Amino acid sequence: MKTFEHVDCSRCDKRQSSIFCNTHGEPLEDLSDSKTCSVYKKGQVIFHEGGHPFGVYCVNKGKIKLSIIGDEGKEQIVRLARDGDVLGYRSMLVNERYNATATVLEDSQVCFIPREIFMKTLRSDSSLSFEMMKLLSNQLREAEVKLTHLAQKPVRERLAETLLFLKETYGYEPDSTQIAVQLTREEIANLVGTATETAIRLLSELNKEGVIELSGKKISIKDVRELSRVANLND
Amino acid sequence: MKTFEHVDCSRCDKRQSSIFCNTHGEPLEDLSDSKTCSVYKKGQVIFHEGGHPFGVYCVNKGKIKLSIIGDEGKEQIVRLARDGDVLGYRSMLVNERYNATATVLEDSQVCFIPREIFMKTLRSDSSLSFEMMKLLSNQLREAEVKLTHLAQKPVRERLAETLLFLKETYGYEPDSTQIAVQLTREEIANLVGTATETAIRLLSELNKEGVIELSGKKISIKDVRELSRVANLND
DNA sequence: AGGCAGAACTGATAAAAATCATAATGAGAA
DNA sequence: TTCTCATTATGATTTTTATCAGTTCTGCCT
């Protein structure tokens, strides 16, 4: 974990779409001055389930998975983070240990804002607490919808939905319909909530049907419309 | 929906354990003066999925389910509310339509705080936004854990877990080990995330095993320890 | 380049859970 | 009270999904 050149928050173009979008002036400078910026290599863990939170992490550039380990040691991926996303705020707010592990999916640049500074900003800048509430609200809604689908929809539909979700989250590779993230089949299964073999089987099924195209870990969506139909998204 | 006698927030004993625990003085009076208090009968709907939020609901006394209707019209119960809980705040914060329906499980008294007043209080009373963030954080954690269990644990374990959850949420009837809430078997299934017949079958299985005792809709827990073991809660 | 380990794949089988069908019970309305 | 309809219950069957076993593929390391 190497430190990379310090990025001035006021010049960070990801800020506009982040919870700091309305934070300006002194509070923002405070944050910027006290943070540290690091590079994480693929596979590295930013924080561990059960660990103590000492601050929040702000993704400058990167792709990160947040996962919970279930009773039998099986991973469940509960969220994916991209540029501009903030991680670890929840545990900090309620002053509890992390209940998820953040693992880097590809080399990423992440800024760390120490606890005290973040909490101070939260107290002084009411727009930040507002953005926090909105963020939490949205994530809660997403989690509840996901819950419903997990309980009610068959694996094939959930897999299609997951692929569309990956596309929405990370977009396509330049000039292609390949989803811009590399996940193992196991990770895809842990996102969908199924067994690895089942995920593999259904992926190659969609491949045969011409809806998607597989080349190694790269997945391209050949027919978004049909994939949406498979996902059966009416709500 | 009849209006019941106005309850002064400052004298409401549920306030201590609610998000208004640190709200005092003028802000609290404002809330108290502008709210309306209503009685809802069993089965009545407080708000509908898709409807516009005009304020937040504060449960004075009652038991309420929050549910989402899935693609095939099947209900998924995503949360249960009890005395002191607040409902509908999430949609209001992000200014979206309700994404869940709130239905009263037994006759309840609920106060309604109009949108403007609540938002005003949120701006003026920073402790309230803090409590909101904590509440949202906790609910998000719960949702993510539930998600993981839904994806990884068999129905029997989830049913046992649900029964323990019901006990934690609503407690026992006075001088008994009967859980203090009446749900149909279908509702239990929609909470667990399974088919009604499966829920019925597994309930009678636990009944035969002597872990619980069924009498109509009343469920009593005869052996909490064994039920916890069935739920397989290691995390 | 060769070999090795992990990942991806495929088939067979087993287990879990949903669905369908049908009967019994019970609560509320006329 | 009796009738009716919804809920509960149970059995049989099918479908879905997981698990197990074995093979091929691929990237990586020396």
User: A158: domain CATH number?
Assistant: 1.10.10.10
* Nucleotide C29 C1' to residue A147 CA (A): 39
Region A44-58: what's the mean pLDDT? 97
Confirm if A97 and A52 have CB atoms less than 8 A apart: yes
d(CA B235, CA B216): 32
State residue A199's pLDDT score: 98
Alpha helix (H) residue ranges in chain A: 25-34, 89-94, 115-124, 126-152, 155-170, 185-192, 196-208, 224-231
> 3-state class of A226 per DSSP?
helix
Question: Nearest-CA neighbor of B125 among B8, B42, B24, B194?
Answer: B24
Region B101-122: what's the mean pLDDT? 96
Q: Tell whether A104 and A172 lie within a shared domain.
A: no
Given a cut of 80, is residue B142 above it in pLDDT?
yes
Exposure string (b/e) for A111-130, b if CB count within 10 Å is 16 or more?
A: bbbeeebbbebbeebeebbb
Interface contacts (A, B; CB < 8 Å) = 131
Q: Using a CB–CB cutoff of 8 Å, tell me whether A218 touches chain B.
A: no
Confirm if B42 and B104 have CB atoms less than 8 A apart: yes
For residue A149, list chain B residues with Cβ-Cβ distance below 8 A: 70-71
Region B95-100: what's the mean pLDDT? 96
State residue B235's pLDDT score: 47
Per residue in B49-84, pLDDT (tens digit) is 999 999 999 999 999 999 999 988 999 999 999 999
Chain C nucleotides near the protein (CB, 7 A):
7-12, 16-21, 26-27
Per residue in B9-38, pLDDT (tens digit) is 999 999 999 999 999 999 999 999 999 999
Of B149, B169, B202, the residue that ends a domain is B149
Q: Tell whether B158 and B138 lie within a shared domain.
A: no
Contact at CB, B133 and A130, closer than 8 angstroms: no
CB atoms within 10 A of CB A13: 9
Per residue in A93-127, pLDDT (tens digit) is 999 999 999 999 999 999 999 999 999 999 999 99
Given a cut of 80, is residue B108 above it in pLDDT?
yes
Per residue in A55-92, pLDDT (tens digit) is 999 999 999 999 999 988 999 999 999 999 999 999 99
* Nucleotide D8 C1' to residue B70 CA (A): 24
Q: Tell whether B22 and B99 lie within a shared domain.
A: yes
Answer yes or no: is A184 CB < 7 A from strand C. Answer: yes
* Nucleotide C21 C1' to residue B197 CA (A): 13
Of A124, A149, A174, the residue that ends a domain is A149
* Nucleotide C19 C1' to residue B197 CA (A): 10
pLDDT tier at B5, thresholds 50, 70, 90: confident
* Nucleotide C8 C1' to residue A46 CA (A): 28
To the nearest whole angstrom, how far is the Cα of B30 from the nearest Cα of chain A?
Answer: 20
State residue A5's pLDDT score: 82
* Residue in A99, A126, A152 closest to B70 by CB: A152
State residue A2's pLDDT score: 72
Give the range of the structural domain holding residue A226, as residue numbers without chain letter.
Answer: 154-231
CB atoms within 10 A of CB A5: 7
Q: Where do we find the tokens 């067994």?
A: A195
Of B124, B149, B174, the residue that ends a domain is B149
Q: What is the rounded average pLDDT for all residues in chain A? A: 95
* Nucleotide D24 C1' to residue A72 CA (A): 29
Q: Tell whether B98 and B176 lie within a shared domain.
A: no
Question: Nearest-CA neighbor of B46 among B84, B102, B124?
Answer: B102
Q: What is the 3-state secondary structure (H, E, C) of A164-214?
A: HHHHHHHCECCCCCEECCCCCHHHHHHHHCCCHHHHHHHHHHHHHCCCEEE
Region A141-166: what's the mean pLDDT? 98
To the nearest whole angstrom, how far is the Cα of A92 from the nearest Cα of chain B?
Answer: 10
Region B156-160: what's the mean pLDDT? 98
State residue A1's pLDDT score: 62
For residue A76, list chain B residues with Cβ-Cβ distance below 8 A: 147-148, 151-152
Residue of B nearest to A130 (CA): B129
Per residue in A123-151, pLDDT (tens digit) is 999 999 999 999 999 999 999 999 999 99
Region B98-126: what's the mean pLDDT? 95
Contact at CB, B144 and A74, closer than 8 angstroms: no
Report percent pLDDT > 90 for chain A. 94
Q: Looking at this protein, which amino acid is placed at residue B15?
A: R
Q: Tell whether B9 and B95 lie within a shared domain.
A: yes
* Residue in A69, A126, A132 closest to B126 by CB: A126
DSSP string, B172-224: BPTTSSBBS----HHHHHHHHTS-HHHHHHHHHHHHHTTSEEEETTEEEES-H
Q: Tell whether B166 and B142 lie within a shared domain.
A: no
Chain D nucleotides near the protein (CB, 7 A):
7-12, 16-21, 26-27
d(CA B97, CA A210): 37
User: A21: domain CATH number?
Assistant: 2.60.120.10
Q: Tell whether B180 and B83 lie within a shared domain.
A: no
Rounded (5°) CA angle A13-A80-A200: 135
Q: What is the rounded average pLDDT for all residues in chain B? A: 95
- CA dist B43 → A165, B46, B64, B104, B203 (Å): 36, 10, 9, 5, 24
pTM of model > 0.75:
yes
Q: Tell whether B35 and B128 lie within a shared domain.
A: yes
Taking chain B, what is the end-to-end CA distance rounded to the nearest angstrom?
Answer: 42
Contact at CB, B141 and A232, closer than 8 angstroms: no
d(CA B102, CA B99): 10
CB atoms within 10 A of CB B29: 14
d(CA A30, CA A43): 31
Taking the C1' atom of D16, which residue's CA lies nearest?
Answer: A154
Which among B19, B152, B234 is the top mutation candidate for probing chain A, defined by the most A β-carbons within 10 Å of its own β-carbon? Answer: B152
Q: Tell whether B118 and B11 lie within a shared domain.
A: yes
Number of domains, chain A: 2
Q: Tell whether B111 and B178 lie within a shared domain.
A: no
Hey, what are B28's tokens? 């609290």
For residue B94, list chain A residues with Cβ-Cβ distance below 8 A: 134, 137-138, 141
Q: Tell whether A138 and A176 lie within a shared domain.
A: no
Region A34-49: what's the mean pLDDT? 95
Given a cut of 80, is residue B2 above it in pLDDT?
no
Answer yes or no: is A205 CB < 7 A from strand C. Answer: no
d(CA B164, CA B158): 10
Q: Tell whether A115 and A225 lie within a shared domain.
A: no
Which among A132, A141, A233 is the top mutation candidate for probing chain B, defined by the most B β-carbons within 10 Å of its own β-carbon? Answer: A141
